[in-house]
Amino acid sequence: MQAWDFEADYFTACNCDWGCPCNFNAQPTEGRCVGWGAWAISHGRFGDVSLDGPRLALYYKFPDRGERGQVTTCAYVDSRATAAQQQALEQIGMGKACGGIFALFGAELVTTWQPAKRAAIEFELNDGRGRVDIDGYGAAESELLSYPDGTVIRPTEDLPHGIEFKRGLMTNARRWWWRDDDLLASYADKYGAVAAVHFTQDCCLG
């Protein structure tokens, strides 16, 4: 197994209500789950290949509860990645190099991997606010949650055994959409989360 690790800012959004019941092994809000995650890697390595700088995104379509599998997924690698970085990030994203949520998807849940694609990935988030854009395929706007009177709140989820993140700030995905062949979705005011994460070939460390 190739040794690798990276640290990244992470954003995720899906069709579930805020907090996402899937994080607690509960039934998804709609009985199925469609969504995606994006990693803006600050630094990392895959063997001798530097992973500093490029971004990675995964879109997934669960027809039922997550543990029942039958998932369709596609990996999107930042168009600014070098050929070596692209190969490494495809290996990681598709679970071929193990590592936390990537290993679970690749080894157990995903039955259909669509061909990986290159796209310019913009990741502009600051304290839960901002936008992530996978050029031509999907985008999301994130904002902090608030009460009806406008009071901003900052709920967090602590998941000591989390394979996606260990501590995440819950946000409102004010609007997110995806358009890529049969991977289609459009939602407003749904679950979003941001986190600082650290992955290795063994697991999610933080």
Residue 187, in any domain of the structure: yes
Nearest residue to 205 via CA among 177, 166, 151, 154 = 166
Residue 88, in any domain of the structure: yes
pLDDT of residue 199: 97
Percent with pLDDT over 90 in the chain: 83
Residue 179, in any domain of the structure: yes
- What's the whole-number mean pLDDT along residues 173-198? 97
Q: Tell how far CA 86 is from the center of its chain.
A: 17
> Which range marks the domain in which residue 170 is found?
4-200
Domain count, the chain: 1
Residue 205, in any domain of the structure: no
Tens-digit pLDDT profile for residues 16-34: 999 998 888 888 999 999 9
pTM here is 0.96
Residue 174, in any domain of the structure: yes
